[in-house]
Amino acid sequence: MKQKEWFKIKSYPHIGLPLTNNDKKDVCSYVKNKHLIARHSFLPFIHKKIISRKLRKEYDVDRNPINKGKRKLLKPKERDIFFSSHLDSNIFSYYGFELNKQYNKVLEEKGLSQTITAYRQIPFYEDGIVVRNKCNIDFAYEVFKFIDNSKHDLVAISFDIKSFFDNLNHAKLKNIWCKLYGWRVLPEDHYNVFRNITKFAYIEEVSLFKLFQNQIITKTKSGTIKEKKVDKLKYLYNSGTIAYCNKQDIHLIRKSGLIKSNKYDIKTGKLRDYGICQGSPISSVLANLYLLEFDEKINNYINNINGLYRRYSDDMIIVCNPEQKTTIIKLVEESIEKMTKLTIQADKTQIFLFQYDGKRKNCLMEINGIYNHNSHKYKLDYLGFSYDGKSISIKTGSLAKYYRRMKLNIRRCNYYSQTIQNETKGELFVRRLYKRFSYIGANRKMKFKRKPGTKDQWIKSKKYNWGNYITYAKLAYRTINDYTIKSQIKKHWRNLNKLLVKTN
């Protein structure tokens, strides 16, 4: 199967125009020149917060539902994301690609290639042929199948690492980076990349927008590039924005005093010696690499007791015999703190007992150290799927998110159809909604674009429509072969059309 290239063209607006395929040769030549990268001056990252709302049922200490099980809107979850400039992004991508190659070799040598699953290309075979790369469906199914195939009681323990990316120790990360290649110190080019992913400059997205709001660089459908005013940040996409400003405008940004630095801790004022930015192409590779020695230790221990260990980024799961539960929890908590200076978020650790009665397994969740009258009501959730010892299903929260987006898009389309001032006013473009939320758009295929100068002729665009949520659900059903999954999406067409009828 063809490996992904490190050179990537992204369309998000930044400082300077985005790259094109015509730039590939020059960019590759520049990025692979160690002397140039050693002296390269990285542009500031653009920082934005991604906010996810959280609706949760509330429970008492015995997991009895409070307020009749009604969901309560909790404090939104915030994630700090940093976007690098288009050239910088390809520098990070190239060095991340090279690091990942070396990292994968070490994983093979240490027997960890199937254990560490996030941010890696792990081939999926059918009849001895690689047909695709594994995804969350396969990773979750492997864990559930391990439990299902066992003929005795098992315990599944899930762990969550607290503020993973924000707490990676710089000195330890640099040491592991050197050790991966067998170096005593990092070469100048690698060190420049390391320095700019650990101690970096950034600018708030809102501040950058306000500075250049009256001269945002946009591109029309005909390909004309021009500057124009954009009223609000949320209108950037629809206005065809390709950049906030030109690269040479960096002096205006510096002069404005908007550039911030993460070099020092905001609270203490001391030099920050921990944390990397989340969002750059190299961040995920470094996060995996950081836990290499810890992964090896835990995996060796779990293999010796015939258990299963899997880690997907900061989510870990261990399956073992019930009598080994306490020892393993202590081992994981102490080892990660001692070896990596990270901590396990204890309140998020969950324990599930799978009791084998000779025919099937019964799933019980441990509540405050015991199994009570509510324990049987809960399922093991892992990577978007749920397992109760009998069947595997898509996590209810994932389905709820799909329907929530469906409703939001229908309302939004209806609003624009009523407010648009042309001959299509009041007309709801249902075909677009069908493609996005139903089986109609579930097939993956090449996109076509209108041939320039014509109205009824189309040519291949070299871009693909990768499907929608139904595509993913169908793949899950084919892979896991559990009818529960098929039944969960069975009514999606009826539900979509009900919402459309209500709108009209």
CB neighbour class for 397 (10 Å; exposed up to 12, middle 13-18, buried from 19)? middle
The pLDDT of residue 4 is 64
Do 210 and 303 lie in one domain? The reply is: no
Helix axis angle, 24-31 relative to 86-109, nearest 10°?
A: 60
| In a domain? residue 9 | no
CB neighbour class for 394 (10 Å; exposed up to 12, middle 13-18, buried from 19)? buried
Do 120 and 222 lie in one domain? The reply is: no
The pLDDT of residue 231 is 92
Which among 292, 320, 294 has a CA at the least distance from the CA of 307?
320
| In a domain? residue 484 | yes
User: Which residues of the chain register pLDDT less than 50?
Assistant: none
The pLDDT of residue 447 is 75
pLDDT in tens, 51-85: 877 777 777 767 777 776 677 777 778 889 999 99
Do 349 and 480 lie in one domain? The reply is: no
Query: How far is residue 240's CA from residue 237's CA, in Å, rounded to a whole number?
Result: 5
Asked if 387 and 379 count as a contact pair (C-beta separation under 8 A), the reply is: yes
Query: How far is residue 177's CA from residue 302's CA, in Å, rounded to a whole number?
Result: 26
Do 207 and 64 lie in one domain? The reply is: no
Do 162 and 55 lie in one domain? The reply is: yes
The pLDDT of residue 301 is 98
| In a domain? residue 196 | no
Which among 110, 136, 437 has a CA at the least distance from the CA of 298?
110
Do 289 and 385 lie in one domain? The reply is: yes
**pTM for this predicted structure:** 0.90
| In a domain? residue 183 | no
Do 91 and 157 lie in one domain? The reply is: yes
Q: What is the DSSP string of 26-66?
A: HHHHHHT-HHHHHH--PPPEEEEEEEEEEEEE-B-TT-PBS
Which DSSP category does 273 fall into? Answer: -
The pLDDT of residue 20 is 92
Token output for 185: 């110190």
The pLDDT of residue 359 is 84
pLDDT in tens, 8-21: 999 999 999 999 99
Q: What is the DSSP string of 161-224?
A: BTTTGGG-BHHHHHHHHHHHHT-SS--HHHHHHHHHHHS-EEEEHHHHHHHHGGGEEEE-TT--
Do 294 and 362 lie in one domain? The reply is: yes
The pLDDT of residue 2 is 55
| In a domain? residue 373 | yes
Query: How far is residue 279's CA from residue 271's CA, in Å, rounded to a whole number?
Result: 22
Do 257 and 365 lie in one domain? The reply is: no
Task: Please give the tally of structural domains in the chain.
Answer: 3
Do 87 and 55 lie in one domain? The reply is: yes
Asked if 229 and 216 count as a contact pair (C-beta separation under 8 A), the reply is: yes
Place of tokens 């500031």: 44
| In a domain? residue 269 | no
Token output for 379: 């399922």
| In a domain? residue 435 | yes
The pLDDT of residue 215 is 95
The β-bridge partners of 352 are 156, 365
Q: What is the DSSP string of 376-442?
A: GG--EEETTEEE-SS-EEE-HHHHHHHHHHHHHHHHHHHHHHHH--STTTT---HHHHHHHHSGGG-
Do 228 and 344 lie in one domain? The reply is: no
Do 407 and 315 lie in one domain? The reply is: no
Domain that holds residue 216: 201-261
| In a domain? residue 3 | no
